[in-house]
Amino acid sequence: MPHYSSIGHYLLTRLYDNGVHHLFGVPGDYILRFYQQIYDSPIRHIGTTREDTAAFAADGYARCRGLSAVAVTYGVGALNVVNPIAGAYAESSPVVIISGAPGVNEQRDDPLLHHRFGPFRFQREIFERITCASAVLDDPYTALRQIDRVLAAAREYSKPVYIEIPRDRVETEGFSMPPESFVASGSDTASLQEAVEETLQLLSAATTPVLIAGVEIHRRGLQQKLRELVDLGQLPLAATLTGKSVIDEHHPYYLGIYEGAMGSVLARARVEQADLVMLLGVTLNDVDSGIYTAKIDANRMIRASLGEIYIHHHRYPRVLLADYVAALRDRLTPSIEPGLIPQAADEELAFPLSGQPIKLSRLISRLNRLLTPEMVVVSDTGDCLFAAIDLKVHESNFIANAFYTSMGFAVPAALGVQAACPERRALILVGDGAFQMTGTELSTIARLGLNPIVVVFNNRGYSTERFILDGPFNDISLWRFERLGEVFGPLAGFEAGVEEELEAALAGALAVRDRPSIINVHLEPGDPSPGMRRLAEHLGNKI
């Protein structure tokens, strides 16, 4: 029977073959032998300050490269990544979790080993709830097949997977066997054809059709097919917040973010007045619906998502989104005359105003002028996320965990983004509270010589929660963010309380290309984003 050099080596080889050229994590005794193999492989290890930030970084990496990996020790390390991996599962980001474990021989007598918190199987059972496939590589006769099976599942379903490797199996020879059959799902030909035929009939009859594109367009890599569909059909397109940047937001047929009362005024008007609304890759969650303020009649809706198509009240099973979009693109003829899409005029604001305290709406307007095709906006959770609705970004240049909404995502995720795509520069939008959770990863970014620009929305506490229920529990410590270079290493720090200072800070940050920059932007706690204002006006009260 053919054999491979070792189980750990095979895992690293297969990761590299799948585009994983960096691996994030914190070493520990149960994973140390695997870490030695990482350093003997072409994969570069990026050590982080904490395990959870390693997983957030891996999430950002996966969104750019299609797969990523994080390696942690058993128990204390693995349990630290549960929250970010749950977020990756909710957001359909394919992260491979590699956890060390006590050796097979160590486990035989059921000893009370350090980092243990129950039966040895408990850790895998926890991760089975937040991954689409898992494996324990304890058998050298099946380990290589298990690796291939799990990695194929991550690719197929765009979800995290879990691999546990006992420390006495890392250097064990793995025996090659015929691979487990993993048949990628495909569309049912008849179902696809019927769905496309009914869709084309409805599009032909519609006078004001609108597309809404969601997060699955990103995860399935369908941006080009979507753009071709929009161009060929001359179809106006809105995006959900989780699907933001599925198309260049300067595109003439782009309407803006549809998020009920929170989104673009133009997008809301066009979507809710349309006689046909096509939802492509949209997940119907509370965030994308603007806290359920979205109004789309099911009788004029087509929804293509999760391997099936719903047209009005008809269901077409086993139709993949990629096949459906491609088939429509191939058969579509223009359905409206070009030039009929009104665009929201970009308001030309004079900037800076002398002595003017910085308003959040004007900060966003100024950042809009900053964005270039090389810049990818990485947003944290909070009002910075809702403010980003009004940013006009380029295609595939916006990353956030906008559905799971875990605070502390942006700074470590930007590390992963710039490791995956070094030609891109991250513009990190983060609140002061979220930064305090994971901002230590800026020291890793500085150590690596990466150059993101961090804009801290410093409104002295948890502003989004204040709109729900104000109280002293929303107050936090006041940090001097601009001085973090004294602790974190090479870092350009700026502070801005008025517009002239913001202008100077942005110019200074743009000029710094060899290290990260951070701008401490002072905002008033009672100054919400335009999106939050729109929602409050619609509801007639604070949320």
Q: Which residues are annotated as a binding site?
A: 432, 459, 461
The full DSSP string for 121-141 is THHHHHHHTS-SEEEE---TT
d(CA 338, CA 482) in angstroms, rounded, equals 49
Neighbours of 101 (CB within 10 A): 28
Residue pair 444/47 in contact by the 8 Å Cβ criterion: yes
Binding-site members for Mg(2+) are 432, 459, 461
Which element (helix H / strand E) includes 455?
strand 453-458
How is residue 158 written in tokens?
């765009």
What Cα–Cα distance (Å) separates residue 6 from each residue in 141, 144, 170?
A: 12, 9, 7
**Among 61, 10, 28, 360, which Cα is nearest to 179's?**
10
Rounded distance, CA 12 to CA 24, Å? 13
Residue 15 burial by CB count (10 A; 0-12/13-18/19+): exposed, middle or buried? buried
Query: Is residue 532 a contact partner of residue 264, using CB atoms and an 8 Å limit?
Result: no
User: What DSSP assignment string belongs to 280-328?
Assistant: ES----TTTTTTTT----GGGEEEEETTEEEETTEEEES--HHHHHHHH
Cα separation of 66 and 52, whole Å? 20
